[in-house]
């Protein structure tokens, strides 16, 4: 049975919950898997701690809470400080490299991959799509879900009229992730 537990963390206003929803939707609707989503956020509308717990599995999921994630998607320093110690040994951290300048010590065998998602979003014209850049990065490096499944979930989840911008953001993150993996593979050989 293949099961991946993921925690997305950041600040309110960064699209953390939408990021988790897109991953869950891609898994359950477009990739034929099972998925659960638990969300948590502070009482403030923007700027407070925010997180989403997503479980993706080939089998039905009996317990939706993520205690020790296989993967983290982090968009703030506070989220990194809070969630990295919970990561499973050998896990993977995907993080916004300009918003998480100091990565806490990783568990044994874990690795961290960064992306300047905010800068990429700003280059596309809207800082708000940094979460979609992160979704693309997740799809490009994790191998958990297929490209087409995540792309369809993005298009189905964003406001009408913003599909082109969000699709470009998704592809930017995905391409960066694929390029990063290719460089690592070349460096290892």
pLDDT tens-digit map of 57-78 = 999 999 999 999 999 999 999 9
Q: Give the structural domain span for 65.
A: 3-188
How many structural domains does the chain have? 1
> Buried b vs exposed e over 168-183: b needs ≥16 C-beta within 10 Å?
bbbbbbbebbbebeee
Residue 179 belongs to a domain with what CATH number? 3.40.920.10
pLDDT bucket at 40, cuts 50 / 70 / 90: confident
Residues 6+ apart with CB under 8 A from 120: 130, 133, 169, 172, 173, 176
Find how far residue 132's CA is from the centre of its chain. 9
pTM of the model: 0.93
Tokens of 176: 């960066």
The predicted structure's pLDDT at residue 34: 97
- Tokens read off for 127: 């800082």
What's the gap between Cα 74 and its chain centre?
7
Distance CA 18, CA 2 (A): 24
Looking at residue 43, its pLDDT comes to: 62
Q: Is the pLDDT of residue 1 over 60?
A: no
DSSP 101-137: -SPPPPPTT-EEEEE-HHHHHHHTT-GGGHHHHHHHH
């Amino acid at each position: 049975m293949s099961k991946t537990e993921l925690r997305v963390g950041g600040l309110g206003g960064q699209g953390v919950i939408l990021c988790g929803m897109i991953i869950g939707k891609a898994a359950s609707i477009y990739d034929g898997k099972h998925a659960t989503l638990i969300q948590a956020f502070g009482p403030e509308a923007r700027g407070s701690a925010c997180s989403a717990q997503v479980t993706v599995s080939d089998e039905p999921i009996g317990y939706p809470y993520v205690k020790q994630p296989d993967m983290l998607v982090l968009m703030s320093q506070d989220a990194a400080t809070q969630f990295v110690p919970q990561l499973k040994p050998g896990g993977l951290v995907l993080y916004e490299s300009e918003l998480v300048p100091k990565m806490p010590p990783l568990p044994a065998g874990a690795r961290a991959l960064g992306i300047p998602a905010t800068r990429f979003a700003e280059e596309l014209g809207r800082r708000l799509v940094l979460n979609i850049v992160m979704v693309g990065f997740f799809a490009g490096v994790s191998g958990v879900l297929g490209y087409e499944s995540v792309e369809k979930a993005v298009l189905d989840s964003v406001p009408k009229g913003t599909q082109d911008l969000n699709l470009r953001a998704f592809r930017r993150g995905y391409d960066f992730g694929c390029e990063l993996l290719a460089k690592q593979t070349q460096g290892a050989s």
